[in-house]
Amino acid sequence: MPSRTAGVSLLELLIVLAIMGAVAAIAIPMFGGTGASSTELRSAARQLAAGLRLARSEAVAQRRETFLVLDVAERRFRVDRHREEHALPRAIELKLFTAQKDLVDEKVGSIRFYPDGGSNGGRITVASGERKFEVDVDWLTGRVAILD
């Protein structure tokens, strides 16, 4: 009687790998965070920075104070005197740090830009879990920067 060597055939190995792949495809999204991806966070930070830069350039060009109004609860913002509102992903968390007089309430506030290009200063934090980006506005120059 010929002896059979112990081992796993290639077909058995492929079947096990296919089953493991199917289980992983179902289980990983269930246990993964429901937060935003790094790409969504970066995109939201860039959108906010672009809005802030637009507000600053309008303040300088039109020689009047201009605001970026941020609704933290609804995750949207708009530039002063512009009708369109820009929505941000629901999965992100926003925090606004600005001058007390520019806070409408605990959910809505603004960052103000002056005709000389300066600002009241402030910071918008865009976060999801441990990951975050900070959109910083320098009070003296009005310069907008995204910090990791």
pLDDT digits (tens, 9 = 90+) for 5-25: 677 888 989 999 999 999 988
Instruction: Tell me the CATH number at 141.
Output: 3.55.40.10
pLDDT digits (tens, 9 = 90+) for 91-137: 999 999 999 999 989 899 999 999 999 999 999 999 998 899 999 99
SS3 labels along the chain: CCCCCCCCCHHHHHHHHHHHHHHHHHHHHHHCCCCCCHHHHHHHHHHHHHHHHHHHHHHHHHCCCEEEEEECCCCEEEECCCCCCEECCCCCEEEEECCHHHECCCCEEEEEECCCCCECCEEEEEEECCEEEEEEECCCCCCEEEEC
**Residue 87 placed within a domain:** yes
pLDDT digits (tens, 9 = 90+) for 36-70: 788 899 999 999 999 999 999 999 999 999 999 99
Number of structural domains (the chain) is 1
**Residue 27 placed within a domain:** no
- Residue 148: pLDDT over 90: no
**Residue 81 placed within a domain:** yes
**Residue 79 placed within a domain:** yes
Residue 121, token pair as written in the block: 């200063």
Domain encompassing residue 137:
38-147
